[in-house]
Amino acid sequence: MCRATLIALLICPLVVVAAPVQTERLRIDYQVISDGLEHPWSVAFLPDGGYLVSERPGRLRRITADGTLLAKPISGLPAIEASGQGGLLDIVLHPDFERNRWVYFSFNEAGADGMGTAVGRGRLHDMALRDTEILFRLEPKSNYGRHFGSRLVFDRQGLLYITLGDRGQRPRAQDLADHAGSVIRLRDDGSIPADNPFVGHPGVRPEIYSFGHRNIQGAVLHPASGRLWTHEHGPQGGDEINLPEAGVNYGWPVITHGVNYGTGTTIGEGSEKPGMAQPLYYWVPSIAPSGMAFYEGQRFPAWQGNLFVGSLKFRLLVRLEIEDGQVVHEERMLQDELGRIRDVRMGPHGLIYLLTDADDGQLVRLVPAD
């Protein structure tokens, strides 16, 4: 475990690459803060310098500022259905966490009609969540084990965005009576904002903000504009970056830049259709994106304003340069150095943090090479 102090900015040589990694713009090292995590999905940074990490099998773990993974999981979570791609997924702290102690989490919940993504919150006190409550449940549930989403993001007004997958049932993403395949927008207490685009529309789920998404597993606010950016898994090809807007249809499965697995045949009506939004950027072949963060620190000045995306499929980190709201360059780094990258976060002290998806997953930090 890392034994560095906060005064040293938590930079210590626990596990550092044998030689610095040369990227296009600078040299970097990486350090393992903690290992022994079972398929970690999300990391949040605590004010005391420690970390919360969700493990997909259903445990919320606490790592101290010196890198010690505490043996006992945090108690107080609701029943979690660890099945297929589902389990305990994203975690995020309330913007006013230091005062109210609210931790928000998304998870797979079982019910009478199957299972589906739900979002809850609880107040963190030492090693327990108290006052736990469920704020949102995807409806209808199903028995499919795929495409749960799900990232949680607070905007600058304190509204909560929840990203949902189509649950592996394509037509659901175009059905406004169904939460699947959408971005959800709520107040922090789970109530529905009056200006949500479908409030008052009969037969439409009023929590829906945008729809026509396949499986969003990356979401972040742009540091300058405050706009929500997301990425989603395509089928065989067609992973997308989108900037969700109120009431907009992003096309899945009517349009996509991907094709059917195995056969390579066209899905839906092709790659574009009037009234359906095009992605800002897409990948063919797919990279299987997961986790996303803008860089806005001072430790890597050459990366200022760049967007970082993890790749599960190619086991690497993607760096995207953005100019005038468009992606103008892509770099791929750390291929096969760490494994499947599940989460990417802009963390304390201007450093980038990664989680690796494995039976023995790791919390890793990128640092400038000396």
Q: What is the pLDDT of residues 215-224, one digit of tens each?
A: 999 999 999 9
| Residues 214, 168: Cα–Cα separation, whole Å | 8
Structure confidence by residue, pLDDT tens digits, 350-368: 999 999 999 999 999 999 9
Q: Which residues of the chain have pLDDT under 70?
A: 1-19
Q: Which residues make beta-bridge pairs with 105?
A: 91, 120
Residues sharing a CB contact under 8 Å with residue 209, sequence separation 6 or more, in sequence order: 161, 182, 183, 184, 185, 196, 197, 244, 246, 247
Query: 3-state DSSP call for residue 304?
Result: coil
| Residues 54, 179: Cα–Cα separation, whole Å | 24
* Cβ–Cβ under 8 Å, residues 314 and 307: no
- Within 13 A of 17's CA, how many CA atoms are on the CB side? 19
Is residue 201 annotated as part of the catalytic site, yes or no?
no
- Please give the pLDDT value at position 246: 98
* Cβ–Cβ under 8 Å, residues 204 and 163: no
- Please give the pLDDT value at position 342: 98
Residues sharing a CB contact under 8 Å with residue 46, sequence separation 6 or more, in sequence order: 52, 93
Residue 40 in tokens:
């970690």
245-259 in b/e form (b: 16+ CB < 10 A) is eeebbbbbbbbbbbb
- Please give the pLDDT value at position 19: 66
Structural domains of the chain sorted by starting position, each given as residue range(s) with its CATH number in brackets: 21-368 (2.120.10.30)
Q: Which of 39, 94, 147, 213 is catalytic?
A: 147
Residue 317 in tokens:
């980190």
- Please give the pLDDT value at position 370: 77
Can you list the alpha helix ranges (DSSP code H) found in the chain? 97-100
| Residues 218, 138: Cα–Cα separation, whole Å | 18
